[in-house]
Chains A and B, each alone.
Chain A
Amino acid sequence: MCLFGLFILACKKDNPIKEEIEKFLGFQKPANFPEPIYNLANNPVTKEGFELGRALFYEPRLSRNNTITCGSCHIQSSAFTQHGHDVSHGIDDRLGTRNSPPIMNLAWSKAFMWGGGVFDLDLQPITPITTHEEMDENLENVLNKIRALPKYTAMFKGAFGTEEVTTARFMKALSQFMVMCVSSNSKYDKVMRKESGTTFTADEQAGYVLFKDKCASCHSEPLFTDGSFRNNGLGISTINDKGLYGATLIETDKYKFKVPSLRNLQYTAPYMHDGRFLSLAGVLEHYNSEVQATPNLDPVLNQNGKLGIGLNDDQKAKLTAFLNTLNDTEFINNKLLSEQ
């Protein structure tokens, strides 16, 4: 009787998962999001393509000595960042110079990397694969390693019709996985979509008003970044990372970095391009009192002769309450996005 009961229970537990897989819906734009920038028409997300992309994302053969996967520095439980590392920790314990950015809502991103230089999601993976401190491999070797595995040739056939492993197919599969990493189910989203009567608390609401007044010009809703590159007044680092300038050689791009999204801050510390701030309190204090007038400082941080954004303790507390509504537990626990 007991055994029978267990069996029923096991079946019940299995069925919803099965159903979920069967009704793979592909890429779905959240109701409160704008149209995506990524050209989905050129690479429609299919179940097979997505699953291939996911397998590749968690595939250590993408690195020189088969030790590092994309997921090594982009960990789902940390909203696809490398929590606890100021700069990314790659192959042979080498350290990069920048903090792993989240793989999140990339379908709405028009430029990639903290310092720019990459403008097409389909070309982005070449950077970590070939970077000395990350995977230190070359693409030709990666494709040859993948071609040698029947598991993958079968998956390429399922996704693209034949077993042929090409650069374009490899990149498109990875993009299919990455564009599916959509974070849109935070409390904020539910409030905005008026889902099941979700509302902000008084502090969250007060924080939202403050946010719109003091932060939204760069961290614009609903993605909480306008996708631009700006100098937010960080003191120049010891390695003198010049940000966007490194890619454009344009003097006015010096010290500009990509404006990061404020979504999932609870999981993505430390903060800034070099992970210099360990906590949100550190970030808010930077804007309150530590902004420096380095070249190309964003004008919004230098108003009426005053540097930064004045924030008292009460305002900081309310802003923090609001920012915490941007955490999306469904995203970091979504089994579909996990290593299988």
Chain B
Amino acid sequence: MRKAFLASAFFFLFLTGLLAQTDVERKLKQELWTNASAEFKVTQAPEKWKNEPAVILATSREYVGDMATKVTKRYYVEKINIHFRIKLQDKASVKEFSELAFDSKTIRNNLFGRASAYSIIGIKVIKANGIEKEVDLSTAVKTDAGSSKDLKIPIPNLEAGDILDYFISFKNESLSMPDFGDEDILEEKYPVVISTIIYTIPQECHFYSQSYNGAPEFKKTQKDRDITYTLKDEIREKAPNLIWNYKFLTSPHIRYRISTDETKKDFKKSAEETLNGFRYNMADPGYLVDFMEGNFKKDKSIDQKKTIQEMYYLIRNPMYLKAYFNINQGDPMSYKYVSDYYFFLINKFLIKKKIPHEIFIVPSRTYGPFADLINLGSCDLMVKVHTVPPIYITRPTPFSIPDEIPYHFEGMEGVGRAFASGVSGNDKVMRSSTLEENTTHSSLNLMLDPEDNSKINVKRSILAKGHNKAYHQYLVFTNYDYFKEYNLSKYQVQSSHRVRDLLKEYNKEKDKFEQRLTQDYNDRDTRIKNDLEEELDAKLSNYKNLSIKSIGMWCDTPNTEYSDEFTLEGLTKKAGPNLIFELGRLIEKQTEIKDEQKNRTRDIYMDYPRSYSHEISFTIPEGYTIEGIDNLNKKTETSLGGFVSSALVKDKKLLITTKKYYSQNHYPAADWLAITSFLNASVDFFNTKLLLKKQ
């Protein structure tokens, strides 16, 4: 359904009236309540769902498009009715539905007093004994300032066993013909007995749809000039709660498009047409050119690769995000979406520098390839620079560097347009990152606290690469640190009045962030401490000496590297003179699959292949020996991934290495058992204990 109009999240209601009931409301209630189809008269839920909190007995989403002539103009008129009938089966669901918020009714009349546009809601409660009572929405009160809705109301006389039956209706008219595509997932928060989706359109329009993952197909019927497409879905279980799931690739749903196109739209072709816009590229890369001229004119060693890197760094610089995209400099670590002009700039600059490249439009792997698209909403632009090897340029984020492709686009085939002769353009599949590229390595040096052997002093260093970096970058960096990273002489050149002003602003922002460094570093340390306590399931104190060697935002230092120190409490337990050491927890909490997710029929979609390794060195305290080392040796490996750990004692130190890895970003459901086996191995390691035995 059209997201602009329809709320599929049925418990957030839109629109109603404080005014007296109008003709249009009466007609809608007649149509949707009095003359409702049989499924909207049902009062009992199927026996198998008797323990569900609520059951959607019936839901209907109906779209009616029609042509209308007024005076001399032809209008396209849309009417949309969304109707839900929900049986509430426990007190918790009554509580959930007992208070509703909504916006004020709007009805716009034309010159003849008829409703030309409206948005209306109706709610009624059906008691277990069959008595129906409409909710008087005129008793609604104002919501708090800042709420997304205007009004709210408690639903009176609502109890477990009751049915809540409500509709939301819209009418709108426009001079333009429809041209939109959208999707509807058939699974809801609660199971659905019957779901009906209806599209009625005039002969001037066309409807194209595709059903996915077991969703039924639409059936077409025609009456006079109107064509109706109807989909009926019955006995649909509620949406499952799954880990590593891309719902548009696994859930039953429909994708559809309504337009005047006589054939189904080819979005590959649409993407190519969009790229034609680059033929008329009017972007002005002046700052880029000035910067390169000013800094590298005499540098004979600068090659294409270096040029591309410098270009990327410059645009990512808060100064130039302001210059090109009017993004304020004062919040550099917050992600700001840069407009498509970014790609026009790059294109223009690369042409000027005679660097061969292609501009791509690439669909996201969370939604699927071009053949499955109903619009270009899931796609993004990308540049492939034809260096050897090629370098991919994507929309910048605060820490991204050239040749890092957002993982949602990895492995997807795009549509490209070449700029320069000799660019083959044969390879249109975006490069996928590998297991070796996305890694986190943690080195931990542990010692029992000499003053209190229930505490463990830890010195830690982290090395993160590829997609694994982002988590650490946002964890350890502050805005001030970011400004300092860009505080380089090459950006201090005042090539114009405008650049002088931008630089002045940059330096001012940097100085001001320095003023709040105490609080920001305090917030950062608290953030890291809380994160460690959560992941290690232990109390942490004395966090200190954070040292960031590299944040990983430059191509010559592409990795995130930092070290810190802290003390952990609660990882050792006394047993007479001996100590039990819960060493396994040092690898941090591991993904544990809940019982209800142990059987899986849907494919597993992860963001990217990756590994997490640990190297732990524990100084065995004087007067103690260690037992239980064998428990630390584990090996569960397949081609899909694995968990491997080993331990040995050397020079009075216990040395442990662990590695957990996921080899792929997509697995068929049949691989679930193999995946859970190495997940379980890592959980076992997390729970492993050692004995420190007093000699």
Question: A and B from one assembly?
Answer: no
